[in-house]
Structure 1
Amino acid sequence: MSGVSMHQIYDLLSKPFRIVDISQPIKSDTACFPGDTPFSREVTVSYEQSNVINLTALKMSPHVGTHVDAPVHVRGSMTGEQETAGTMPLDAFIGPAEVIDIAPFVGAIKPEHVEKHLKTEAVRLLIRTSHQLRYHVFEESYSFLSTELVEWLAKRGTRLVGLDSPSVDHIESKTLCAHHSLLAKDIYWLENLDLTAAACGEYFLVAAPLKFMELEASPVRALLLDWSVN
């Protein structure tokens, strides 16, 4: 938080605030992208049998539920730790953010769909395109980012953009133009948000990726802190 003193931070945190959870639940029936690995778990040790603990092992794609894509998702090699989820800058995912509502919307989001809704200069933008989410159903018709919007966001100084869609690109895209355009402009993105409980306005976003040094994406527990309750 450049330009903000520790005294100001402590003063702010001492005031009442509301936490808005904008993460999708992850469970056995959570839908995932076609061909991807859904969530499953195995109970490796049970309390009933051991009388000590429960232990589980999980299996899933890191793209299930609310998540962030790392650059290596669409470029480079998975043999090392270059551009993986654990190497992304945390400050992109923590800080002031604005939520806007263009719902109901399906298709390519362009600058004219966004600009009229903006009320702040926040460099993190979260776009609600649906008023109702069905976590157990993969919606093949969803909103995604146009390259025109990415260019416009870059000129505006945007650091991060988030959607309640499973991808920033069209489901049938083979070139992933939005992914590559975002990377070229040094803009990070969140996918599969749940913004149904977040009113339009400015918040403080906390959505850091886990320090997975060998993965191309990471689940996040995305939260909005709201001081407007004061």
Structure 2
Amino acid sequence: MKALLFFLCLLFPFITASSVAYPSVLDCSLSDGGEGLQPLRRETYGSGRIFDISHRITSEMPAWESKDGLGQYLWLRASMKNGSIANFSEMKLPAHMGTHLDAPGHVFDHYFEAGFDVDTLDLEVLNGPALLVDVRRDKNITAEVMKSLHIPKGIRRVLFRTLNTDRRLMYKKEFDTSYVGFMKDGAQWLVDNTDIKLVGKLQELIICLLLPMTI
């Protein structure tokens, strides 16, 4: 098992600069003659203490059960070039696009009915050191796989790098239903035998799913 220690911080996914609602680099000037301005997008902060592991949102990224990808999701409703006092964008996309956080109500209807949204989750659980582990590439994450990883007690956050990474699924337009995921017995083994409160599945060392454990 390969393991690295990361400081996990979930940041809002980047918006692609190619969208008509997001100005190009040359349009980002704050004053006349500002063609040299260029937005700074970093992946690490504090000399590697914090990693931004979110995927950049694009119209070509896969959407749930879609063959055509996300499509247009961003519109410029008001433009300073057309006389508005500010640029005003409107965004519409599914709640489970790209890098995202699953609320307890996503897969448990009684939590959904009770109003357990993402704002009910503990931010202290969502931020902090995380263990990165490589998972065997020929299986879903089962109880057998979880046991073989030998994750030490006391670890609260784990990011799983799976076959999804090798297949670059987040860079394919069509949604692929054969992705690697947690099986029920694997999740139960995790609950019964570890101190983990947050799990994530990675692609290209970038998180594509966070599922905080509400136990």
TM surpasses 0.5: yes
Q: Summarize the Cα distance change of 1:22–1:95 in structure 2 as closer, same or farther, 3 Å threshold.
A: same
2:184 aligned partner: 147
1:65 is the counterpart of 2:74: no
1:43 aligned partner: 76
Tell me the CA shift for residue 52 of structure 1: 3.7
Query: Do 2:61 and 2:171's aligned partners in 1 also have CA atoms closer than 8 Å?
Result: yes
Structure 2 residue matching 1:108: 3-state secondary structure: coil
State which of 201, 205, 212 in structure 2 corresponds to 1:196. 205
State which of 151, 166, 173 in structure 2 corresponds to 1:131. 166
What amino acid is aligned across from residue 99 of structure 1 in structure 2?
A: L
When Rg is computed on C-alpha atoms for both structures, the one with the higher figure is 2
Tell me the CA shift for residue 132 of structure 1: 4.8
Structure 2 residue matching 1:53: 3-state secondary structure: coil
Tell me the CA shift for residue 116 of structure 1: 3.6
TM-score (ref. length: structure 2): 0.60
Q: Which runs of 5+ in 1 are unaligned?
A: 1-14, 165-193, 199-206, 210-230
2:201 aligned partner: 163
1:84 aligned partner: 117
Deviations 1:47-72 (A, max 9, x none): 22126422110001110011111122
State which of 142, 150, 165 in structure 2 corresponds to 1:110. 142
Specify which structure has the bigger relative contact order, considering alpha-carbon pairs within 8 angstroms and separated by 6 or more residues.
1
Structure 2 residue matching 1:113: 3-state secondary structure: helix
What amino acid is aligned across from residue 185 of structure 2 in structure 1?
A: E
What amino acid is aligned across from residue 31 of structure 1 in structure 2?
A: P
Deviations 1:147-201 (A, max 9, x none): 221122112121111113xxxxxxxxxxxxxxxxxxxxxxxxxxxxx44379xxx
Aligned mates of 2:73, 2:103 — CA distance in 1: 23
Query: Do 1:32 and 1:64's aligned partners in 2 also have CA atoms closer than 8 Å?
Result: yes
Query: Do 2:146 and 2:190's aligned partners in 1 also have CA atoms closer than 8 Å?
Result: no
Q: Which runs of 5+ in 2 are unaligned?
A: 1-45
Q: Summarize the Cα distance change of 1:197–1:162 in structure 2 as closer, same or farther, 3 Å threshold.
A: closer
Tell me the CA shift for residue 108 of structure 1: 2.4
Q: Summarize the Cα distance change of 1:25–1:82 in structure 2 as closer, same or farther, 3 Å threshold.
A: same
Identity %: 26
TM-score (ref. length: structure 1): 0.57
**After the TM superposition, which segments of 4 or more aligned residues of structure 1 sit over 6 Å from their partners?**
none
Q: How many residues are treated as equivalent by the alignment?
A: 156
Aligned mates of 1:78, 1:150 — CA distance in 2: 20
Structure 2 residue matching 1:131: 3-state secondary structure: helix
